[in-house]
Structure 1
Amino acid sequence: MMRRLAAAALTAALMGVAACATPSNPANMTLPTTAGLTAARGDPGYRSVTSVAVSGGQGTNPLWTSQVSNADFKTALEASLTAAGYMGTEGRPMRVSASLIDLKQPLAGFDLTVTSRVRYTVTREGQTVFDDTVAATGTAGMGQSLMANERLRMANEASIRENIKAFLTRFRARAH
């Protein structure tokens, strides 16, 4: 009887540890330098973004599901803008605001797909130069992790990274 009780307690403890949600990692949400999305000297916005503001995110509750916090999203967006040649003080100052409207996550599954919707607003000297809502998806499969919470975190990160990529693609297209 004692062995069964101990085994049940150990199993419950291991399941509790295995079910812990972890927050998103900004490095995994950062878009690296990408051909066709990198600004060069003379391009509109080149090294002109002086500030980034992010809202709408939420911290991860370890007992629930992985989320994307404002701080982690901001870090990833700033690093992505830096890699793309937009962060700096060389041009007319621009401000980027990103509002995470929705992070649509599945309840369960083998391959988990997350869709993020973010409204980006870029202003220069009080004038709006870009204002659009971008939706993007990211997927993490069983081959990436057997733990559903880890797959969800990876899908969150992939979705935000793809969202930033779509934002930069649209911004570049409209800025030229």
Structure 2
Amino acid sequence: MNTIHHRIGAAALMAGLLGLAACATPSNPAMMTLPATAGLIATPGSTAYRSVTTVNVAGGQETNPLWTAQVSDADFKLALENSLGAANYLGTEGRPTVVNATLMALRQPLAGLDISVTSQVRYTVTQSGQPIFDELVAATGTATMSDALIAAERLKMANEKSIQENIRQFLIRFRTNRQ
């Protein structure tokens, strides 16, 4: 009888631990931040060089630990601000520039070994109140079994890679359209 209770208790403990391991966790802004990247760094004289004074983000969702990983507004904003800072866009040296980013969609699979997430973000940039950029940017990030064994962790990583790539695509388009 003791052995049966011991086994039931051990099974319940294992199920509980597995449940915790599969909980969704929020995105990490550091993993979504695009580091200083050659060719994407603003230089003196380029549009918005050290003049982005405000970054606004909307459309994100908080992660529910019992459901799936998401990207919150606060985490996306921090990643975008840090990325803009690394690319020499944040500052007060030029005409006041505002970057608005609205996460329109975060397309996630229900399951998979390799998980790909596609983010769609509408970026609008105004300078001294005048629009200078308005585009919808889509980007995909993928996490594989070699990145993480647990599917919930792979989904979080795919979210982060998708947002980082989205920011990179935004900077490419912004520089291309504004030079």
Percentage identity across aligned positions? 65
User: Greater shift after overlay, 5-14 or 72-81?
Assistant: 5-14
User: Helix, strand or coil for the counterpart of 2:84?
Assistant: helix
CA shift digits 1:8-63 (9 cap, x unpaired) = 21122112111111100000000000011000111111001000000000111111
Name which of 129, 144, 149 aligns with 2:147.
144
Instruction: Report the Cα distance in structure 2 between the residues aligned to 1:108 and 1:135, rounded to whole angstroms.
Output: 21
Aligned to 1:75: 78
User: Helix, strand or coil for the counterpart of 1:78?
Assistant: helix
Unaligned 5+ segments in structure 2 are none
Aligned to 1:92: 95
1:175 is aligned to 2:178 = yes
Instruction: Report the Cα distance in structure 2 between the residues aligned to 1:44 and 1:135, rounded to whole angstroms.
Output: 23
Name which of 4, 9, 16 aligns with 2:7.
4
CA shift digits 1:111-149 (9 cap, x unpaired) = 100000000000012211000000000001100110111
Kindly report which structure 2 residues correspond to 1:147-166, keeping only aligned pairs within 5 A, or say none.
Answer: 147-166=150-169
Name which of 125, 130, 138 aligns with 1:127.
130
Name which of 7, 18, 37 aligns with 2:21.
18
Q: Quick one: which amino acid aligns to residue 153 of structure 1? A: K
Aligned Cα root-mean-square deviation (Å): 0.8
User: Helix, strand or coil for the counterpart of 1:107?
Assistant: coil
* TM-score of the aligned structures, taking structure 2 as reference length: 0.96
Unaligned 5+ segments in structure 1 are none
Aligned to 2:67: 64
* TM-score of the aligned structures, taking structure 1 as reference length: 0.98
Name which of 25, 42, 46 aligns with 1:43.
46
Runs of 4+ with >3 A deviation? none
